[in-house]
Copies of this chain bind each other. A is one copy, B any other.
Amino acid sequence: MYEGAIQDLIDELGQLPGIGPKSAQRLAFHILAADNADVHRLSAALNRVKELVRFCDVCFNVSENDSCRICRDPRRGTEVICVVEEPKDVVAIERTGEFRGKYHVLGGAINPLEGIGPDQLRIRELLLRLRGGEVKELILATDPNTEGEATATYLALLVKPMGLIVSRLASGLPVGGDLEYADEITLGRAFEGRRTV
C-alpha cells in the first residue's frame, strides 16, 4: 500500500514473531520519525549480533568467544552442571544468585510433534562433558511443561547409571501468589513436595 522503502520495512518487520501488520506499520512510522543515529544503532546491532554472537564451545550458551563468561570464570564450581533449554534460562537462573556451578544449554526440549528428538539437542555434548568424572551432580532445570518434563526424564534415565546425583527444580506455589488462584496441577505438586517445618 505504501511506496517502496517504507512498505519493504513494514514487510520485514511483519516477519518477526509477535509483530502483526498493524504493529509493523506503527514501528515503521516510528522509525521514519526517529533520529537517524538511533536507527543506525539498531541496524548496526542487528548486523553485529549475526557477526559476533556464537555459542560457547563448552556449554552452548551465547558467547562472543570460544567459551562463555561463565565457563571461563575460575570461581565457578565444576562439580554441578545445571541443564537448561535456552540461553535465556541461564540469565533467569543467574538473576537468582543461587547457583555457582556451570551450565549446559540443550538448545530446546524433546518435542516429537516438531521433529525435535534427542539428536537435535546437545545431549551428546553433555555426555562428553560428564566423561571427565569431575561432575558430581546434574540439576535438570528444563521447563516444567510436557516437553521439559519429557526431556528431564530422558536425561535422568541416561545419566543415572553413571552414578551421578540427578535433581530436578522443585514445583510448587509461586512465592507471593494466592493459593486459590493456583491451578490444580501446581497445587497437587505443592502437596507432593511438602516439607516439614
Binding site for B on A (CB under 8 A): 1-6, 8-9, 11-13, 15-18, 23, 25-32, 36, 38-53, 62-64, 68-69, 86-88, 91, 94-95
Cα A91 to Cα B28 with chains together (Å): 14
A46:B43 contact, CB within 8 angstroms:
yes
Q: Please give the distance in Å from A58's CB to the nearest CB on chain B.
A: 14
Give bound CA distance, A25 to B6, whole Å: 25
A102 to chain B, nearest CB (A): 16
Assess whether A9 is in contact with B63, with CB atoms less than 8 Å apart: no
Interface centre among A13, A31, A45, A94, by most chain B C-beta atoms within 10 angstroms, is A45
A94 neighbours in B (Cβ, 8 Å): 1
Give 9 CB contacts A-B under 8 Å: A1-B95, A4-B52, A5-B52, A15-B38, A29-B87, A32-B50, A32-B62, A43-B44, A43-B47
Q: Are B16 and A30 in contact (CB under 8 A)?
A: yes
Query: For A18, what are the chain B residues with a Cβ–Cβ distance below 8 Å?
Result: 23, 26-27
